Amino acid sequence: MAEAGRAPSGTPGSAESPLGSVDKALVALEALAAAGPDGVALGDLARSLGLHKASLHRTLAALRFRGYAEQDATTGDYRLGPAATALATVYLGEENLPALLHPVLVAVCRATDELVHLGTLAGTEIVYLDKVEPARAVRVWSAVGRRRPAATTALGRALLSQRTLDD
């Protein structure tokens, strides 16, 4: 079994954790994410993580309390809860995407010496979230926050091409 304050051997960060209980909860969340929507039994999860079942049960109870884990009422299996996926939704939301992806836009612009846009579909319109212009002169009418019919822009057509007819 894993020592208190240590990640199970063979896992990333198996050096001494600054706070073992938090580390155990994070390792459990990673395992629940990997288990998928069907979830995993407590005993199987404890064995795979090298943790005591009772200790892991308490950790999962805390995660359930905050909505980061769920327990199937019929099987007793644990799976990732809605609070965990909500973190990703907020983090990757339109408000954060420009800041998260701006370095990538800069790198693509430098590599291609072309104008690079970041945008998203909002119904049938494209909304520009960020853009990086090359050093050379470019004549493009785009502005962050501007909306255009998606079918009339290259970025909009590219995004529309990935939609299914059901979207």
Instruction: Give pLDDT tens digits for 35-71.
Output: 999 999 999 999 999 999 999 999 999 999 999 999 9
> What are residue 80's phi and psi, to 5 degrees?
-60, 140
Other beta carbons within 10 Å of 99: 10
Q: Are 22 and 16 in contact (CB under 8 A)?
A: no
Cα–Cα distance measured from residue 100 to residue 144, given in angstroms and rounded to the nearest whole number: 15
pLDDT score at 1: 47
pTM of the model: 0.55
Strand, coil or helix: 114: coil
pLDDT score at 141: 67
Which two three-digit tokens encode residue 20? 């073992």
pLDDT score at 149: 84
Instruction: Give pLDDT tens digits for 14-31.
Output: 578 888 899 999 999 999
Instruction: Give pLDDT tens digits for 83-122.
Output: 988 888 777 776 788 888 999 999 999 999 988 999 888 8
Residue of 111 and 167 predicted with greater confidence: 111
pLDDT surpasses 60 at 5: no
Q: Which value, in Å, is the radius of gyration of the alpha carbons in the chain? A: 22
Amino acid at 68: Y
Under the banding of pLDDT at 50, 70 and 90, the label for residue 78 is very high
**Residue-wise DSSP of 45-95:** HHHHHT--HHHHHHHHHHHHHTTSEEE-TTT--EEE-HHHHHHHHHHTSTT
Closest CA to 129 of 100, 158, 154, 109: 100
Which two three-digit tokens encode residue 30? 């990673």
Cα–Cα distance measured from residue 7 to residue 145, given in angstroms and rounded to the nearest whole number: 45
pLDDT score at 4: 45
Under the banding of pLDDT at 50, 70 and 90, the label for residue 137 is confident
pLDDT surpasses 50 at 3: no
Residue of 73 and 154 predicted with greater confidence: 73
* Cα atoms in the Cβ-side hemisphere of radius 13 Å centred on 11: 20
